[in-house]
Amino acid sequence: MLTAVEYLGSVGVGVTVPRVFRADDGKIYVVKLQNNPMGTKVLVNEYIACWFGERMELCFPPSDLIQIEEQVLQKHKSLRSTGTRTKIHFASQYIPSNKYVVRTNLSKASNKSAMAGVMLFDHMFHNIDRTKNRKNLLVRLQDSAYVLYAIDNSHLFVRGRWNNKTLEKLTEKIVVNRRRAYGWLLTYFFTSGDFSPYTARVREIKKEDLVQLVNSIPQEWLPKAEERDALLNFMFRRCQMVDQIVLRLCRSIPDINRRTHFY
């Protein structure tokens, strides 16, 4: 777990009102606080995305749990006035010198195929905000190459806030998102093979892994046992459905020979 040692200010955008801190590792992080306007479920969503991002090897920024030092709170009245406390929050490493993804810079990106994994994750967890919000896909020039990053996973399960009933309704649904960058990628860049490594990594996830994931969620973020059970059941079923989800995505890839895509 990280420790926030210096407050650098507000991001200025975002419904979760994220803040910027320097952590004890010397790096800068965008932090979503427990007392954000959307509640602690968005922290759970981010934590889930972080775990799946590592397992699937997605182009998400490095993330971790973070606590804020008491002396940092005492130094900044603006933080204390919002009700911020030295509890467990969620931090994503800040990506400097970035630009939002548009058609022109998307085509220049060196890791376009990595977006197949992000697209699969988003469809497993009903994250339509990736393309609805133009600020959730970034491109950055590093080491003489343009690199794509996917940020902000607060709005999983369509709206970010969820309960047992909403998870149950979403469990079996597959709705393909062809908006903006996802439509461009499916139409002009992806092949069915781009999904293969990510599909294989999801298949390797066992129920015991998901049980450990749910158990590791901070209690103060998700105190109700029945919601933890519902979340576990949802994730397990969506992992089981990975082949169905990828098949639906591949149907949106043009086939010049008019044949069905297999992977």
pLDDT at 167: 98
| Structure-token pair, residue 130 | 């990736």
Written as tens digits, the pLDDT of the chain (263 aa) is 999 999 999 897 788 999 999 999 999 999 999 999 999 999 999 999 999 999 999 999 999 999 999 999 999 988 888 888 889 999 999 999 999 999 999 999 999 999 999 999 999 999 999 999 989 999 999 999 999 999 999 999 999 999 999 999 999 999 999 999 999 999 999 999 999 999 999 999 999 999 999 999 999 999 999 999 999 999 999 999 999 999 999 999 997 544 444 33
pLDDT at 8: 96
- Non-local CB neighbours of 19 within 8 Å, separated by 6+ positions: 7, 8, 9, 10, 11, 30, 31, 33, 79
The whole-angstrom separation of Cα 56 and Cα 66 is 23
Q: How many CB atoms lie within 10 A of CB 247?
A: 17
SS3 annotation, the chain: CEEEEEEEEECCCCCCCCEEEEECCCCEEEEECCCCCCCCHHHHHHHHHHHHHHHHCCCCCCEEEEEECHHHHHHCHHHHHCCCCCCEEEEEECCCCEEECCHHHHHHECCHHHHHHHHHHHHHCCCCHHHHCHHHEEEEEECCEEEEEECCCCCCCCCCCCCHHHHHHHCCCCCCCCCHHHHHHHHHHCCHHHHHHHHHHHHCCCHHHHHHHHHHCCCCCCCCHHHHHHHHHHHHHHHHCHHHHHHHHHCCCCCCCCCCCCC
pLDDT at 256: 56
Check: CB of residue 5 under 8 Å from CB of residue 24. yes
| Backbone dihedral angles phi then psi of residue 65, each to the nearest 5 degrees | -70, 155
| Structure-token pair, residue 36 | 């954000």
| Structure-token pair, residue 162 | 């969820």
| Structure-token pair, residue 71 | 């002396």
Single-letter amino acid code for the residue at 140: R
| Structure-token pair, residue 46 | 């981010």
Specify the long-range contacts of residues 166-170, CB closer than 8 Å, at least 24 apart: 167/230, 167/231, 167/233, 167/234, 168/230, 168/234, 170/126, 170/234
pLDDT at 85: 87
* Residue length of the chain: 263
Burial grade of 116 (CB within 10 A; 0-12, 13-18, 19 or more): buried
